[in-house]
Structure 1
Amino acid sequence: MAKSGMFLSKNQFSCAICLDVLKDPVTIPCGHSYCKGCIEGSWDQDDHIGVYSCPQCRETFTPRPVLGRNIILAAIVDKLKKMGLQADPPLHCYAGPGDVACDVCTKRKHKAIKSCLVCLASYCETHLQPHYESPPLKKHKLVQATRHLQEKICSRHDKLLDVYCRTEQQCICLLCTMDEHRGHDTVSAAAERTEKQKQLGETQKKAQQRIQEREKELQDLRQAVESLRRSAQAAVEDSERIFTELIRSIERRRSEMKELIRDQEKAAASQAEILLEQLEQEIAELKRKDAELEQLSHTEDHIHFLQGCNSLSDPPGHTDLHSITFKPHFSFEAVRKSVSVL
């Protein structure tokens, strides 16, 4: 029975709670068996009425049943274990999509863990044991389980590809060296692997050196970009400060210029007001004198005419308008030019 690799049925010898082979089995009054430790921690109990339920069929018991070891069942399980029976493997042991299936399993295929290059088959953990125990099988070449075993076999001679033809640069079998590859430069696959490994090591070394150089260039470039960013930020801050100060200066200059223009406007207007008043007075005086002269020119009394002429001559203290300085075409062109220079 041990040699047959039989598996226990979960319904017969496994605990319905932990799903493992029964340990210290106990049987409750409803007939179901459990591991003692599992059932002790899995009773469904109503704390108010003290009713205990079976975890599997929900049958209730009052009071709680006494858990006595099922001696007969324990003996059977111990005997079966000694005979080599095993519990059902967990689901993850079975082969699924993308897994390499065992070539020996007859029912549901288990995952293969190794492939044999001599047997040209893949084996699960159970069926691989003969390769570890049998002296002839111990000499076989085991590799990680692969679905590409046929790629390692010569399609012409159905032998393992264990020779490398340097002339044709391809893997061949031993019989190929005596057939179409006779006289070619051939070595064992292991020897060519060693040589290729050295070349690969040199290539990898150069690649790693190139990677280091590129990483150094990348680091330098990142530092340059960061330096450029900081420099740009500093330039922005400086320009903001300069323009802020310039705007304040312009605002201040504008206020000063506005005040200057208003002051000049007031001075000129004041001067013009005085001149206007004087001009209005003189015009009134001249109009009065003109009226008197017009009236005098029509008199027939010669004495009255002569006396009137003397009295209508320019009176003493007459204001000379030309003594007042005023520019009738006053402008602020000079002010506008000084502002445009800014």
Structure 2
Amino acid sequence: MATASMFQDEFNCSICLDLLKDPVTIPCGHRFCLNCITGCWDQEAQKGVYSCPQCRETFTPRPVLHKNTMMADMLEKLKKTELRSNVTVSSDAKGDVECDFCTGIKHKAIKSCLSCLLSYCEVHIQPHYEVPRLSKHKLVNATSQLQDRICSQHDRISELFCRTDQQLICMLCSMDDHNGHKTVSAAAERTEKQKQLVKLKGDIPSQIQQREKEVEEVKQALKSLQVSAQAAVEDAERIFTELISFMEQKRSEVTESIRAQERAEVSRAEGLLEQLELEITKLKSRDAEMEKLQPIEDPVDFIQSFQSHFTSSSVAETLPKVTFESQFSFHEVMKSVSPSLREKTKEFHQAVFKVTGFMVMDTVILKTPETISKSCRPYPPQSFNFIGFGSNPATGFAPSAGRIFDEPSRLFGHSFGQAASSCGYDHNYTIPVDGVGVLKAFNGPDNMIVDFPEHQGWKGSSSKLELVLMIN
């Protein structure tokens, strides 16, 4: 019981202080219930930094939790051991085995006889030491599990072991159900099992050392993974920051260029308006002077007044039409900045690709075009019946009435490179794959699935692919 309790303390969760449920191991090596550590880390989600409740080591980003199957199996065995211990304690309420010969007050038994199948106290065991016939009985330390040593079929002590069926049997069993089986005495089997136990026990230190080495390797790999992930995050942040800064700069330059040209055009339009307003003022003044000449009736006076104010050319003058056409094109501004934007976008995609590698929906192309072999297996098989067909003027071929022609390619010039759907017979053909495809699934660097226009569901390694930047 003390041993079971000591081991149970080792498998308690330091958060809920109960036996681990769905045990998980976090990067620092401490173990918790899955629900307990998930609840703790959910509360730390806003900070973005997650810590171990036991040693306070912090992790960024949040570690992925996986069930510790080895620990779970050990816990199941511990629960079963504890259950058996509880049953034994319940059957031995006083903690001692009672003497079967004592009447009235039962004394503590010190020995159990495997021949009598009874337990004896210090007084009642004496005949087994003094009577010659009883002295040959097999005595063991007092146990309350004598019935477990009895054959349920023959009510005799199980003193043999059947290696064929791997179970304890009595002498009668060896002559009945186990007749012909390989049997040995329980003592001999114990000796053999003891040798196996010593060997197994001798292997445990090396196994522990191997597992501890593997634990360290996993921890190192995990730390390396976390360092790589953090470096990738920092690279991504730097790339996006540079792109945002570049875009902000270009936006500012384009805005300033548009505003500068807008100001120039507005200034030109305002000068034209000022000129037109001045001409309107002059025309209104001339109109007023003309109005004054209208009432003069004396011809000489009218002519003299007219000539003093106007000339014939000025009266007949036709003003040219004035229009304002903007010389500024916003399209040209955007067109001038597009090359630098395209170049920066390509650099951005290439930088992201170096950090993340291939991603689903990337456009890719094969570094070296491939030829895919396919087979056409029509079902049901097809034949062509040319009953009633006339002769072919191009080939001069006239199939006889009622003939079944099994190779239509000879008649129609069918090419083996055509798609299977256009074929009516059984054959193999090939198709070249060299177009731009779309990455549909990424199950590791050696298991990529790409849909090419020529071939859907291409499978292969990322080393055969090249990223295509679809930027105009």
By percentage of residues, which structure has more strand? 2
TM-score normalised by L of structure 1: 0.49
Q: Which structure carries more helix by proportion?
A: 1
Larger Rg: 1
TM-score normalised over the length of structure 2: 0.38
